[in-house]
Structure 1
């Protein structure tokens, strides 16, 4: 069985979060979804579990993070710069915030950032496949 990651996120509005994640390319897995939590699939090995407060409390009594207190950024790779730009545009039109951080173009890698309706920061990015496969970084990379 391949290694998988399940990112668990508390959300304030489950339906709005489902719409947002579906709009930016996640698919809902009904087998792990109900009226309290939803499993949104990015790939065969990457899943985002969005939880209502009641669902979140089934797993932890730790305080819910304050909306302005985000301690992580989650990066997701795409196949082209155009796909990065398109995802950011859709995110901004689907209840999220586009370019929550300034875009960055390093030559071999291009990244932008979005925030979901609850402020979780995602960084869609494209990386040159040659560099990703281990070739040396281009001299003009920033």
Structure 2
């Protein structure tokens, strides 16, 4: 059986978050949806549980991070093309997200990525890797160290 991952994210406004991610092309599992949260489908083995902050808080005694003010994690999703990276990143900004400028330019020719913040400030990285080009530019001496 393939391992699945369920990422739990607190959100202030569930309906606004669903509308935002719907505009990015994601769908939701109605079986795992109520007024406290929903299950956003990323792939067959990856889901993101968008949970209203008060409900999310019942799972931990730790305070929630304000993702607009502090980093908690960067959620990276791979795509099949550079065009899909651009489609998702552009859709995120059009839906009310904020672009996140690259802090350093990616020096690997085989990688292309863009970043954005969702409505709650969570950081997302959308990535395309050209695996054929990656193999051509691999540095075997680094892998053996």
Identify the residue that residue 6 of structure 1 maps to in structure 2.
6
1:87-106 to structure 2, matched below 5 A, reads: 87-98=88-99, 100-102=100-102, 104=106, 106=108
Identify the residue that residue 27 of structure 2 maps to in structure 1.
27
Which consecutive unaligned segments of at least 5 residues does structure 2 have?
140-145
SS at match of 1:95: coil
Identify the residue that residue 122 of structure 1 maps to in structure 2.
124
SS at match of 2:72: coil
**Distance (whole Å) between structure 1 residues aligned to residue 101 and residue 78 of structure 2:** 17
Structure 2 length as normaliser, TM-score? Answer: 0.85
Offset from partner CA, 1:27-58 (integer Å, 9 cap, x none): 10111111110100100011100111222123
**Distance (whole Å) between structure 2 residues aligned to residue 25 and residue 48 of structure 1:** 14
Greater percentage in strand: 2
**Distance (whole Å) between structure 1 residues aligned to residue 124 and residue 106 of structure 2:** 14
Greater percentage in helix: 2
**Runs of 4+, deviation exceeding 2 Å:** 101-106, 135-139
Q: How many residues align?
A: 136
Instruction: Check 1:115–1:105 CA distance in 2 against 1; reply closer, same or farther (3 A cut).
Output: farther
Judge conservation of contact 1:26–1:41 (CA < 8 Å) in 2: yes
**Distance (whole Å) between structure 2 residues aligned to residue 117 and residue 137 of structure 1:** 37
Backbone CA RMSD of aligned residues: 1.8
**Distance (whole Å) between structure 2 residues aligned to residue 117 and residue 131 of structure 1:** 35
Judge conservation of contact 1:104–1:112 (CA < 8 Å) in 2: no
**Distance (whole Å) between structure 2 residues aligned to residue 131 and residue 8 of structure 1:** 34
Larger radius of gyration: 2
Identify the residue that residue 74 of structure 2 maps to in structure 1.
73
**Distance (whole Å) between structure 1 residues aligned to residue 12 and residue 107 of structure 2:** 33
